[in-house]
Structures are given as C-alpha cells and as structure tokens.
Structure 1
C-alpha cells in the first residue's frame, strides 16, 4: 500500500472517532478499578483475512485470560492504518497504560507512536518493526532468516536449477522487505542457476493468484514457488494449481516445489499431503504470549536490555527501541507432526 501523510491520516481519524467517542465515555480510570487495580492494556489486532492472524487472535484471548490481564475491548484495524490510529486514540481515552499493536504499514504509524511516547504510554509492536517512532519492545522473529531458510530448502529441492515464482508481501512492510531481500541474496550467492520471478502482492491472496496465473502462462516450466505468507497465499495458490492440473504430490514427476511462511495448521496438512514441501513456522503463540507479558511489564515500569533471554530468543537494540527475536523453525515432512509446533496445538 502507499504511505499516507500524517495530515491525511489525522483527517480521516477525526471522522472515525465521532463513532468511537460514545464507547470512550465514562470509562477512563474506572477500568483499572473494575479489574482489581491492574493497569489497562489496549490491544489492536491487525486483520481478520489471514489464518495466521486469526490464530494469533485466539492466542491473545487465551493469554490475556490466563495471565489475568486487564484488557480494554480488543479492536481490529483491518489492515487500515487510519483505523489503527483511531483505535489507539480510543485506547488513550479509555485509560490504556500500554498498547499492543501490529502495524501493517510500518511507515505511516510513526506520528501515532510519537504521540503515545509523549503521553508515556509504552507500545509493543508484534511481528512488524515500525520504521520510526519509539517502541518499548518489538516481538518478532528474524524475517531475514525466513527468506534465507526458504531459499536454502527450495534451492536444494530443485538441485540449483529452474524457475521460482516468489509471492512477496508488501514491500512497504519491513517483513516483506526482509524476506524478499534475504531470499534474493541467498539465491544469487548460493543458487545462481535458479531464476527468481518476483511478484509483489501487498499481502493479498487474489493479487498473488492473478500474478501467479500470468507467470505460469509465460513460464510453463516453472518448478518452484516461495509464498511469503501461507495465511493468505496457500488456499488461492493450491486452488490455482489444482485448476491447471499442476498440483502433483511431492516425489511425483511434475511436482512444483513450494515453500511457505507462517506455520498454520492448513500448511501442515498440505505438507502431509505432499501439496507443499515446507514452511517456516512463525510463532503465533509466542507472539501473543510475550507481547502480553511485555505489555504487563511495561505498565509496571520494568526495563530490558539487549542479549539472550530465558525463552530461547535474543533481544537486539534498535534505533527506536528493542526487539525480541523469537525462534522460527523450518517445518518439513520430517517434523510436521512435532507436538511442540503451535500449528499442531491450536485450539487444544
């Protein structure tokens, strides 16, 4: 998506807030009192059109209850930075002492982060790292590793030769850039015999399907696909390949090798069937767990430093805060049934 100016966002927010103001009245500090004095935490979910983010939402709900947190009514910004800004302003008006968000447009959220910092409301950003603007903690996996792991696995599957369609995320997103840059760098250095066809999709499944269809028409010898987000790309990609008679199981002649990112249950089922070959498991459960933990810690005035953590991750320093880089394992047919993977435990 294109970045919007702060003036445009602010103008649109003022309209949205007229509708939100009624729900904001008469709450304020009462939310703290109603929950035994625990500071209120505002949580915005980024979208509801992705199986991955819907899984994250379930873990947030479970985690908030398990940790006994005082959460304000959870909002969903539906992949719209204007709605995110409006939702955050409602959190401010209703007494939030910390905010958990996952901005999909990492450039346009800067002024909102500056406003929250000025009001001493710490922000935990999940999965995405804001380009600028102060954050208390980014809870994220190493997205460059996603691209590298996908490249290494796919390159070996193809024997270093062939053509690969790369379904990229939005390139105005740090995640889309990190995965794309790492995948390209790895392919160039490790597998120069593979031609990569980059397809920007803005994280939209219909766009990915349309571009992949055109790519297949122009490149009937395509033998690999890298999907940067299984949550939005898996279903339309498999449906298209099925329609074209190209969905052949792994090990069979004509199989198109597919590597994905996310680690949702549907990807695991596809690996078991042989429809796709691997995915990098993005830890939806740990995103929720540690985002909520850091939010609670922030309301208590706790601070953290760069270095190893007690939960098998590493905190790194950013120009605008800290980032806890959580582990994200590669999942193949060899470990797809591992009970430790969150995709095998969703809803249990």
Structure 2
C-alpha cells in the first residue's frame, strides 16, 4: 500500500488557537514523504485490538501490507484481544524496545488513561485508531464520525419503515466512545424524526453471541419486529443472519415480511449480504484508510511533525479534541445502488 502525497498545515500553539481558522490558508504545508533526522527510520509499536472481528482482521491485513510496502520500521505487532490489561503490558514492551511512537485501538476508552499518561511522561506520542480515549493525551485519533454512523442508520431505517414499527439496536460496548456515539446519535435521531418507531436498545459489549441471545429473546416477545440496527457487522452479521434464518425470518428485500437491517463496518460479507437482499445497508468504516493514516501519523509523530485543525486533501477534516487532534475520515452509506463500487475497501480487501 503506497501512501499518496498529502499536505497538511502545521499545528498552531495554544496561544494562537483562536486564530486557527483564519490562519489556515497562510500556514506552511508539510510533506508526508519527509524523512526523520539522520535518515534513520524510527521504531513504531503497533497493537491490534482484537482478532474476533472480520473488520479488525481486515485492518490488520492492510497494516501488514503498508508496513511492508512503505518500509515502516515496525516492532513485532501485538494483539491485546479486547483486554486493556494486555494492552498496557504490550505498550510496556514497546517502551522497553525503543518505540518512538505507538499505534493502538483501545476498546475500553475509559480505562486507557493511565497507559497514555505513562507514554506521555516518556515523550512517546500515541495514534489511536477508530476509538477516541476518554482521557489522556494523543497525537492523533484516526477515526470516522461515529455519531454520523448512528444518524445515517436511523435515517435509512426510518425512511424504509415509513416512520413506524419496531427496531432492535444491537449496541456495542457503552464503555467505548464508539458505542456511545452511535447509540446516542441513533436515539436522538429516532426521537426527533421517527417518534412512532419503538427502539429496543440491546447492549452487547461488541460480542456476537450476546447480540444473538438478546435478539432471540426480543423476537420471542415481539415477533412483529421489522428492523435491526447492527453497530458492528464484523461481529454481529453472521450470528444475526443465522438466527433469523433458523427462525424462518430471513426474507429477502422486497418480501412483505422482510426485516430491514442496517449495519456498520463495510466488510465484504456485509456487501455480499446487501447483494443477496439479506440486509439493506451498511456504513463503510474505512479499514484501509485507518491502516494507511495510522502508519502515516505514527511516522510523522516520531519525526516531530505537527498538524492543526482544518480540511485535508484526502477528503477528511481534522478537529481539535481534548488532549489532541482527530482526523475524521469519510465513511459512506452503502446500499444496493453503490454496493459494487470498486472504491469501497470491502470490494478490494485481500487483493
């Protein structure tokens, strides 16, 4: 995976923060292909968050390709397996191994603060992928707008259901900012735009078996359920489809008894399910761009480069957050109308 040339503006000091927007056009761009001091490539520590999700496994593939094709000096990759204690231990290994920057994707965004503090104390910048830590300093969060995920899912479901019906929401972990953002935005949109749709919120901790069990119980109580919002297709898709098929409820799009399903992730299996009429839409979370810009920002951090809020030339917006910056990458809604678009990472992963 070759990183395209992109130019960003240098980050202003705290004293000049109020003038950021006005000064954007006047700031100096920095070239993403610049090299570190002495030409040596700094060591980068990279922790993968889990291996039980098709989305994160795809992200890992893109990372490995990027490391190889761009000659990134990556320390041996670790996998914290959705365990913040393992993540802390893996980070300790990176510190002891001379990492100049760390890439992580903490799944429990409330429990990672002490680890971030320990890295900041040693001057080791952190790039957080997909999740924004609740507290602590980060160099850059590489993420999409997760509130937009919930809003897009709400609007699609609400319109398809004609503003009435019953919807199961398979929520992620609510101790994760992603789970909270998607859930809060979905709920707010439903209250405002579709008050006649009854939403059943089902927290799952991002676990497919929990989602399946809770959905099964809900269907027993509400057999007239006609919509499902899955906040993570990478873990919810297969158990959900298997359950609906087992109960004879997996009717294709267009059938009068079809249950409208909207997902998040954009994995190949979701795209195939859209083609088959099993689900109706997904919001494509950019696994390829997550990997590309995680590596880019990690190298930039290790080399001492800085950025500031504003539009980028790769279709995103950098915003200021408590403790750092966040690059909000685009995440398009995918339906049968654009499911074959070759620009979607789910149509090219593994190639």
TM-score, normalised to structure 2, is 0.89
Which of 339, 343, 348 is the matching residue for 1:345?
A: 348
Cα shift readout 1:300-343 (whole Å, capped 9, x = no counterpart): 10000000011100000011100000000000000000000000
> Separation in 2 of the partners of 1:64 and 1:332?
32
Q: What's the counterpart of residue 211 of structure 1?
A: 214
In the alignment, is residue 246 of structure 1 matched against residue 249 of structure 2? yes
| Displacement after TM superposition at 1:66 (Å) | 1.6
Equivalent residue of 2:250, what SS?
coil
**1:117 and 2:120 aligned:** yes
Match of residue 91 from structure 1: 94
In structure 2, the gaps of 5 or more residues are 1-38
Matches of 1:187 and 1:228 in 2, distance apart? 15
Measure how far apart 1:37 and its partner are.
2.7
The runs of at least 4 consecutive aligned structure 1 residues that moved more than 2 Å come to: none
**TM-score, normalised relative to structure 1:** 0.89
- 1:315 matched residue in structure 2: 318
Deviation at 1:65, TM superposition (A): 1.2
- 2:209 alignment partner, SS class: helix
Give the structure 1 partner of residue 20 of structure 2.
none
Q: Structure 2 CA distance, aligned partners of 1:179 and 1:149? A: 10
Instruction: Give the whole-Å Cα distance in 1 for the aligned partners of 2:70 and 2:297.
Output: 12
Residue number in structure 1 paired with 2:143? 140
Q: Which residue of 2 aligns with 1:176?
A: 179
Find the counterpart in structure 1 of residue 6 from structure 2: none
1:267 and 2:273 equivalent? no
1:230 aligns with 2:263: no
SS in 1 for 2:237: helix
User: Residue 107 of structure 1 corresponds to which residue in structure 2?
Assistant: 110
Q: Deviations over 1:98-133 (max 9, x none)?
A: 000000000111011011011000000000000001
Cα RMSD of the aligned pairs, angstroms, is: 0.6
CA distance in 2, matches of 1:127, 1:178: 12
What is the total number of aligned residue pairs between the two structures? 313
2:191 matched to 1:191?
no
Q: Distance in 1 between matches of 2:322 and 2:248?
A: 49
Which one of 67, 70, 82 corresponds to residue 70 of structure 2?
Answer: 67
Q: Deviation string for 1:242-291 (max 9, x for gaps)? A: 00000000001100000000000000000000000000000000000001
**288, 299, 304: which one aligns with 2:307:** 304
2:159 paired residue among 148, 156, 165: 156
